[in-house]
């Protein structure tokens, strides 16, 4: 069991990161901190996807005269690139919302905002 975990330590690490991010979103009061938690979750998922593409002894998958298999899988990197674009736009939108919340309410602490509602 432990050996299986150790052999897949990259997957375990991303699951742990994912849970840390989720914990921050639930436990922290400050909206920016909540959002940082979300970014940690995003990073966890991206690192998981990148780790999926690893092939033991894999070469970069670039075709050429001296290209020798095995190749690392290129698809996960393409996926993560798209994922990062999505994450950036989510971050931009969330930060602009936080700015507007601060301008209107003068605070970005979740409990104080709840009282105002």
For the window 1-40, what string marks contact with other proteins as x by the rule CB under 8 A? -----------------x---x--x-----x--xx--x--
| Six token digits for residue 63 | 């075709």
Residue closer to other proteins by CB (options 26, 62) is 26
**Residues in CB range of 5: below 8 A, 6 or more apart:** 12
For the window 74-113, what string marks contact with other proteins as x by the rule CB under 8 A? -xx--x--xx--x--xx--xx--xx-xx--x--------x
DSSP β-bridge partners for residue 59: 71
**Nearest distance from residue 117's CB to other proteins, in Å?**
6
User: How far apart, in whole angstroms, are the C-alpha atoms of residue 100 and residue 117?
Assistant: 15
Residue closer to other proteins by CB (options 67, 84) is 84
**Per-residue exposure over 12-23, b if at least 16 CB sit within 10 Å of its own CB, e if not:** eebeebbeebee
Query: Of the candidates 8, 44, 2, which has an alpha carbon nearest to the alpha carbon of residue 23?
Result: 44
Residues that bind other proteins (CB under 8 A): 18, 22, 25, 31, 34-35, 38, 41-42, 45, 48-49, 52, 73, 75-76, 79, 82-83, 86, 89-90, 93-94, 97-98, 100-101, 104, 113, 117
């Amino acid at each position: 069991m432990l050996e299986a975990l150790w052999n897949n330590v990259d997957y375990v690490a991303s699951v742990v990161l994912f849970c840390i991010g989720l914990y921050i979103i639930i436990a922290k009061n400050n909206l920016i901190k909540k959002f940082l938690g979300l970014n940690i979750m995003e990073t966890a998922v991206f690192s998981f996807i990148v780790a999926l593409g690893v092939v033991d002894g894999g070469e970069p998958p670039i075709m050429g005269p001296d290209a020798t298999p095995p190749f690392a899988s290129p698809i996960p990197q393409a996926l993560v690139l798209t994922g990062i674009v999505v994450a950036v736009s989510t971050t931009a939108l969330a930060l602009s919302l936080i700015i507007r919340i601060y301008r209107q309410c003068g605070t970005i602490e979740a409990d104080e905002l709840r009282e105002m509602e």
